[in-house]
Amino acid sequence: MKVNEEGFTVYHNFPIKELSNKVFKAITNPDDLIHWWPLKCTGTPKVGAEYNLFFGGAYNWYGDVVQCKESTSFYIKMTKSEDDWNSTTFGFDLFEKDDGVTWIHFFHKGWAEQNDHFKHSSYCWALLLNGLKNYVEKGIIIPFEERN
């Protein structure tokens, strides 16, 4: 059952105690992404660029940058991944506050149904985004095999 034409969406909003340019780098730079999400990564933060997100084995996924505004927003539309992820889009909107805190409004939209994979992915995003927060704020890198 679909709620609307866009499907279902995962949402997570949270603060990171850092300026938006540093948060933006952590969500767009492959050398930073590998410290909190994929095992390996390539890509350039510009609209139309392709990102390769490699998680090991058959999990060699690709997505295209569909929005990229320096220190403000970054969205990727998945093009080659697991069936439930294909044609979904995830993104980050950044809102810097006066006190040096950046609020992230994260979404992962376009899910066809709220199946077990949707629910598991929502949970995994929460854990991974906490890893992003700890990486940016404290320099903590969780080994890839412990990110679950």
> What pLDDT, in 10s, does the model give residues 124-134?
999 999 999 99
What is the C-alpha R_g of the chain?
A: 15
pLDDT digits over 13-56, tens only?
Answer: 999 999 999 999 999 999 999 999 999 999 999 999 999 999 99
Q: Can you read off the two tokens belonging to residue 115?
A: 């199946």
Q: For 69-91, what is the mean pLDDT? A: 96
> What domains can be seen in the chain, in order of their start residue?
8-146 (3.30.530.20)
The structure's pTM equals 0.94
How far is CA 83 from each of CA 12, 80, 87, 131, rounded to the nearest angstrom? Answer: 23, 8, 9, 25
Q: Where are the alpha helices (DSSP H) in 65-115?
A: none
* pLDDT confidence tier of residue 5, bands split at 50, 70 and 90: low
Backbone angles phi, psi at 22, to 5 degrees: -75, -35
